[in-house]
Amino acid sequence: MNGKRVFVVFLVLLLSGTVVQSQQRQWIIGMSQCNLGEPWRVQMNADIKKAAEAYPNITVVFKDAQNDNLRQSAHVEEFIRAKVDLIIISPKEAVPLTRPVREAFKKGIPVIVLDRKVVGEDFTCFIGADNKKIGKAAGRWIAAKNGGKGNVVELKGLMTSTPGQDRHSGFRDGIRESAMKVVFEADMKWLEPNARKEMESALARYSAIDVVYAHNDPGAHGAYLAAKASGRERTIMFVGIDGLPHEGQMYVKQGILSASFEYPTGGREAIETALSILNGKQVPKGITLKSRVFTRDNIDTGGAWLEE
Ligand code: FRU
């Protein structure tokens, strides 16, 4: 190769290298998780990590707020100061996390809100399943299985978070036309030990309990343990939400829960949406994920999708 040719080849390589480099622009995504104390959230982070691994130009920085609104706000502020390219947040509570999310959004950092909502519209995209629909489907399913009547204990998720509110109102809608009666309700704040304690009170007060509707599977399992400890687990039907393979679906297989309604984590969808945003594409303001119901009859065949 003569000198001129070497130079030309070098130039071509350099230019193509530059092109490759600009296509491979490195993106930093900040992911603010409200807690990692529950299997469902561990799964969400794992889903995000797995989806991001398919894209070598994405780095996801994870923060765990340990169920503390102030800590979670501080994490979002840190991401803003570090000028990350995009923020994904699964907020603990709607009101306290609205301000930092708005601040990031107003400063031009795209924000994907995952699973629990914030107040208002100052974010780029919300991804989650329809909790009202899930609650309503649970109510209808429970009413149908109980011949339209019976006593219900409702163990609610954190009622200052939107899934708790929607799973509650949806459920009430679902049992409206039946004679199902909610005799006891309590906010167990998504946590199994709280659910167990609340159920102990319900069992002590009511000799006739037909169904426990818990806003998540840890809650339903906590209630089951309380009932088992007082020898009443066989006379009560337990229904939960989340439907993780190694949690809700397993409880259904084991005969602990009668049904678990799937609440997908949205981790994969969050990364795909993040990439679209980073590549300058328009994304919808809301993405609604589909969910299934797992029961003893359909668990071996993959559950049944909730109707549109
Ligand atoms: C985990 C969790 C899930 C529930 C979701 C609602 O923190 O409680 O069990 O489905 O949050 O946001």
**pLDDT single digits (tens) 134-166:** 999 999 999 999 999 999 999 999 999 999 999
Could you tell me the pLDDT band of residue 116, with boundaries at 50, 70 and 90? very high
**Residue 8, pLDDT above cutoff 70:** no
Residue type, 148: G
Q: Which of 17-31, 38-52, 116-130, 206-220 has the lowest mean pLDDT?
A: 17-31
Q: How far is the CA of 40 from the centre of ligand 1 (A)?
A: 7
Q: How much of the chain exceeds pLDDT 90, in percent?
A: 91
Interatomic CA distance for residues 171 and 175, integer angstroms = 6
Contact at 8 Å (CB) between 112 and 88?
yes
**Ligand 1 contacts CB of residue 242 (under 6 A):** yes
Interatomic CA distance for residues 206 and 227, integer angstroms = 12
Contact at 8 Å (CB) between 277 and 118?
no
Could you tell me the pLDDT band of residue 4, with boundaries at 50, 70 and 90? low
62 forms beta bridges with 31
Mutation to probe ligand 1, out of 41, 190, 191 (largest number of atoms < 8 A from CB):
190
| Stronger pLDDT, 91 or 25, i.e. the higher one | 91
The per-residue pLDDT for range 158-189, each reduced to its tens digit, is 999 999 999 999 999 999 999 999 999 999 99
- CB-based contacts of 232, cutoff 8 Å, min separation 6: 203, 209
Mean pLDDT, to the nearest integer, of 111-127?
98
Query: Could you tell me the residue ranges of all domains in the chain?
Result: 25-129+265-290, 131-264+295-305
Ligand 1 atom nearest to 115, measured from its CA = 12
Q: Of 3.20.20.70, 2.60.40.10, 3.40.50.2300, 4.10.410.60, which CATH number belongs to 25-129+265-290? A: 3.40.50.2300
Q: How far is the CA of 143 from the centre of ligand 1 (A)?
A: 24
Could you tell me the pLDDT band of residue 5, with boundaries at 50, 70 and 90? low
- Which CATH number describes the domain made up of 131-264+295-305? 3.40.50.2300
Please give the model's pTM, rounded to 2 decimal places: 0.91
Largest CA distance in the chain: 95
The string of DSSP codes covering the chain is: --HHHHHHHHHHHHHHHHHHHHHT--EEEEEEES-SSSHHHHHHHHHHHHHHHT-TTEEEEEEE-TT-HHHHHHHHHHHHHTT-SEEEEE-S-HHHHHHHHHHHHHTT--EEEESS--SSS-SSEEEEE-HHHHHHHHHHHHHHHTTTEEEEEEEE--TTSHHHHHHHHHHHHHHTTSEEEEEEEEE-TT-HHHHHHHHHHHHHH-S---EEEESSHHHHHHHHHHHHHTT-GGGSEEEEEE--TTTHHHHHHHTS-SEEEE----HHHHHHHHHHHHTT----SEEEEP-EEEETTTGGGT-EEPP-
pLDDT given for residue 149 in this prediction: 98
Give Cα 5 distance to the centre of its chain. Answer: 58
The per-residue pLDDT for range 48-86, each reduced to its tens digit, is 999 999 999 999 999 999 999 999 999 999 999 999 999
**Ligand 1 contacts CB of residue 41 (under 6 A):** yes
| Stronger pLDDT, 15 or 106, i.e. the higher one | 106
pLDDT given for residue 91 in this prediction: 98
Q: How far is the CA of 137 from the centre of ligand 1 (A)?
A: 18
Could you tell me the pLDDT band of residue 308, with boundaries at 50, 70 and 90? confident
Q: How much of the chain exceeds pLDDT 70, in percent?
A: 93
Q: What is the mean pLDDT of the chain?
A: 94
The per-residue pLDDT for range 253-295, each reduced to its tens digit, is 999 999 999 999 999 999 999 999 999 999 999 999 999 999 9
| Same fold? 25-129+265-290, 131-264+295-305 | yes
Could you tell me the pLDDT band of residue 241, with boundaries at 50, 70 and 90? very high
**Residue 99, pLDDT above cutoff 60:** yes
pLDDT given for residue 9 in this prediction: 45
Ligand 1 atom nearest to 90, measured from its CA = 12
Contact at 8 Å (CB) between 218 and 191?
yes
pLDDT given for residue 18 in this prediction: 43
**Residue 117, pLDDT above cutoff 90:** yes
Could you tell me the pLDDT band of residue 307, with boundaries at 50, 70 and 90? confident
pLDDT given for residue 23 in this prediction: 58
